[in-house]
Amino acid sequence: MTKKTQILVIGHNDDGCTPAHEKIAYEIGCEVAKSNCVLMTGGLGGVMKAAAKGSHDSNGLTVGIIPQDDPMHANEFCDIVIPSGMGLTRDFLTALSADGIIIVGGGSGTLSEICAAYMHKKPMVAIRNTGGAADKFIDGYVDHRKNVKIIGVDTAKDAVKKILELLHGN
């Protein structure tokens, strides 16, 4: 089996991202790389960029799926860029491209990715106390269907560990 495990990190873009969000996102990027998984992100700023830098600094492989149709809009830590050319509709594409998802705060864009992932039953964990729109759903379900529970975790290490458990058992 050639395909690597693809972990998507989502959360605040530049607007809304605090140093605390960046720190945990960076650590998650490092952990994803150390686990030999591919880091998937939306390829822009804030949490996306910090996670990509973490993966990059740990010799991981990072894919950025961006709204624009020109790869030059991606942050400088993406090894591979998918310039979707479909604007914010790319939020469904990032969600679909994930085997599992880690959430760090985030606003309406992050929430749309969570909804897309939820409808496609992707395993999701969220870092506790990072606020944002996602916070309303931590340790619970997005709707009455109870497709997948968004599991709260406290550290980057736990986030990646939990996703891998959910994907591959333990």
Q: Return residues touching its own copies (CB under 8 A).
A: 1-4, 6, 15-16, 38, 56, 61-63, 65, 69, 71, 74, 76-89, 91-93, 96-97, 99, 107-109, 111-112, 115-116, 118-120, 132-133, 136, 142-145, 147
Nearer to its own copies, 48 or 78 (CB): 78
Nearer to its own copies, 126 or 155 (CB): 126
Task: Report the nearest approach of its own copies to the CB of residue 98 (Å).
Answer: 10
Task: Report the nearest approach of its own copies to the CB of residue 90 (Å).
Answer: 9
Nearer to its own copies, 76 or 169 (CB): 76
Task: Report the nearest approach of its own copies to the CB of residue 63 (Å).
Answer: 6
Nearer to its own copies, 80 or 165 (CB): 80
Contact 53, 24 (CB under 8 A): no
Task: Report the nearest approach of its own copies to the CB of residue 121 (Å).
Answer: 11
Bridge partners of residue 82, in order along the sequence:
65
Containing 113, the helix (H) or strand (E) segment is helix 108-119
Bridge partners of residue 10, in order along the sequence:
103
- CA–CA gap between residue 96 and residue 162 (Å, rounded): 19
Task: Report the nearest approach of its own copies to the CB of residue 156 (Å).
Answer: 21
Nearer to its own copies, 72 or 169 (CB): 72
- Burial state string for 51-74 with b = 16 or more CB within 10 A and e = fewer than 16: bbbbbbebebbbbbbbbbeeeeeb
> In a 10 Å sphere around its CB, with 0-12 CB exposed, 13-18 middle and 19+ buried, how is residue 169 labelled?
exposed
- CA–CA gap between residue 165 and residue 170 (Å, rounded): 5
